[in-house]
């Protein structure tokens, strides 16, 4: 009957559900409270997700190649003192991953990623990497000039060690996520470098292409970090796809 109320216990065990004049269920006061809370939750979720989807660099019109160039410029600018290069590379990998996933790829997001990676210990990894590579470079140079006992053999060992250090640190940067500890990342990067030789070759190819580009036209050094970033993202995507 129109306008009557039939007792019915809902899923929450309380309250009654009536039938309105239009024949639609009337949830009652308890049901309205639940619906209100769920509606507010949906609005809060929309408030949290919508801005991230809208914050795209260039309004989302920037393609992967342009994003690579932009990343290269940003990493070069942040790496001028050398030791921030590792956290800058970690932020670059995250930036390109977000771009490829159609998420927030704004410069503000890139800066936040760099600050997080730097503060979480990336600065000491960058400082240590700079010191180790510098020592290996001096040792290799002296060995090839005959100034170090062992001659060229020691020089090539130093070159191989430098390539290994660069590869492991780069893969650790690709593994970085907010809240991760760099010590754990470096240990994981050693395992990943050995267990994924194809990915490691991809990363080394990225460095090789960057070196050739700089050799051909030195001013293009400002975009080479973007090439390395593409190689790192490709290696990680291939590894997860293969897994």
Q: What is the pLDDT of residues 119-142, one digit of tens each?
A: 999 999 999 999 999 999 999 999
DSSP structural state of residue 55? -
* Same-domain pairing of 201 and 120: yes
Residue finishing a domain among 34, 54, 74: 54
Residue finishing a domain among 54, 74, 89: 54
How does residue 56 score in pLDDT terms, banded at 50, 70 and 90? low
The pTM of the full predicted model, rounded to 2 decimals, is 0.73
Q: Is the dihedral of CA 200, 202, 203, 205 positive or negative?
A: positive
Give the dihedral of Cα atoms 140, 195, 240, 187; nearest 10 deg: -70
How does residue 38 score in pLDDT terms, banded at 50, 70 and 90? very low
- The 3-state DSSP class for residue 18 equals strand
Q: How many domains does the chain have?
A: 2
Helix pair 64-78, 224-242: axis angle to 10 deg: 120
Cβ atoms within 10 Å of 122's Cβ, excluding its own? 27
Q: Which domain holds residue 151?
A: 61-242
* Same-domain pairing of 38 and 106: no
* Same-domain pairing of 182 and 232: yes
* Same-domain pairing of 89 and 178: yes
């Amino acid at each position: 009957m129109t306008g009557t109320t039939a007792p019915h216990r809902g899923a929450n065990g309380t309250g009654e559900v009536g039938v309105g004049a239009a024949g639609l269920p009337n949830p009652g006061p308890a049901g309205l409270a639940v619906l209100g809370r769920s509606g507010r939750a949906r609005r809060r979720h929309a408030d949290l997700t919508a801005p991230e989807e809208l914050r795209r660099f260039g309004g989302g019109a920037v393609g992967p190649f342009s994003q690579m160039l932009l990343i290269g410029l940003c990493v070069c600018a942040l790496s001028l003192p050398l030791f921030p290069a590792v956290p800058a590379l970690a932020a670059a990998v995250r930036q390109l991953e977000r771009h490829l996933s159609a998420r927030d790829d704004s410069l503000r997001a890139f800066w936040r990623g760099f600050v997080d990676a730097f503060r979480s210990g990336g600065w000491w990894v960058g400082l240590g990497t700079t010191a180790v590579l510098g020592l290996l470079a001096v040792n290799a140079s002296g060995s090839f000039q005959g100034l170090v006992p062992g001659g060229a053999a020691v020089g090539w060992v130093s070159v191989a060690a430098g390539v290994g250090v660069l590869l492991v640190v780069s893969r650790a940067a690709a593994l970085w996520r907010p809240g991760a500890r760099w010590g754990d990342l470096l240990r994981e990067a050693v395992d990943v470098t050995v267990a994924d030789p194809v990915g490691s070759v991809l990363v080394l190819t990225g460095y090789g292409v960057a070196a050739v580009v700089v050799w051909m036209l030195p001013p293009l050094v400002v975009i080479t970090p973007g090439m390395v970033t593409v190689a790192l993202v490709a290696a990680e995507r291939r590894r997860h796809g293969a897994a």
